[in-house]
Amino acid sequence: MKYLMFVAALFGVLRLSAQEETEYRDPSKTSQSYGDYRGKKTVPPYGLAKVKALIDKTPFGDDESLRLSNKDYMGLSLREKFTYHLIHAEISAQNCDVRPPIQDEDKKIFGQMAEGFNESVWSDRQSKFLISNRDSVMALIKESVNRSKRMGANYKMAITEVNGWEMIPFIIDLYNADHKDRDLLTLLMLLLKNNEYKPFMTSLSYRKLYGDDGNYQSYIDFNKANEDLIMQRARDFYSTRGK
């Protein structure tokens, strides 16, 4: 009888524990605030009013895309096209599944950066523009960030899109200015991953963030040891790649 009571009690504890794990829980104010900070875009100033006016008058396509006509698009200068691509993604990519809130977001270094666009992605012509003009794109990002002292989620996405490994020293200097934006560390790791830097690809961090069990919320703890390790690996890769 005592054995049955013990099993019943144990089952009750396990059941309660499972319920607690699946319960919806609001993140702390600090976590929410940092999540909002991660998702902010940087808005380029180049021809901004003209570009926004063109987007506003453009109708949605049958596929829910929102693209400038070729005539309007080709009428933009390079800097205006940069603004267009960095504030607007042409292809709708609606996510039907509601993602659960992230807990303790401010205490984590994620494997994936916050999304810069709300359920939309760059089209082929937008990606081609960014990649074929990568030197100009990186120069304009530096110019803008030096002015605002901030690199928004959309700028980080553009750097990964063009594989902007040459910006590693700039990214590290920007991070070291206030150690606030941990997605800059994520950006460094994505550059290491995309360039298949072996010391990173064989590391425990890589397996945890990008291995078979990795997902968009995979993270490593935010602490000085991890912070220093990511920057050192990025410096080592840059010094090797730059030769």
Q: What pLDDT was estimated at residue 27?
A: 87
DSSP string, 33-82: HHHHHHHPPP---TTHHHHHHHHHHPPPPTTS-----HHHHHTS-HHHHH
Q: How far apart are CA 121 and CA 94, in angstroms?
A: 10
Question: pTM here?
Answer: 0.86
pLDDT in tens, 42-55: 999 999 999 999 99
Q: What pLDDT was estimated at residue 243?
A: 61
Q: What pLDDT was estimated at residue 93?
A: 78
Closest CA to 141 of 125, 126, 129, 155: 155
Looking at every residue in the chain, the average pLDDT score rounds to 89
pLDDT in tens, 72-109: 999 999 999 999 999 999 998 776 666 778 889 999 99
- DSSP letter at 91? E
137 Cβ contact list (under 8 Å, min separation 6): 82, 130, 158, 162, 164
Q: What is the end-to-end Cα distance of the chain in Å, rounded?
A: 75
Q: How far apart are CA 35 and CA 149, in angstroms?
A: 19
Q: Once rounded to an integer, what is the mean pLDDT over residues 6-15?
A: 45
Q: What pLDDT was estimated at residue 116?
A: 84
pLDDT in tens, 129-183: 999 999 999 999 999 999 999 999 999 999 999 999 999 999 999 999 999 999 9
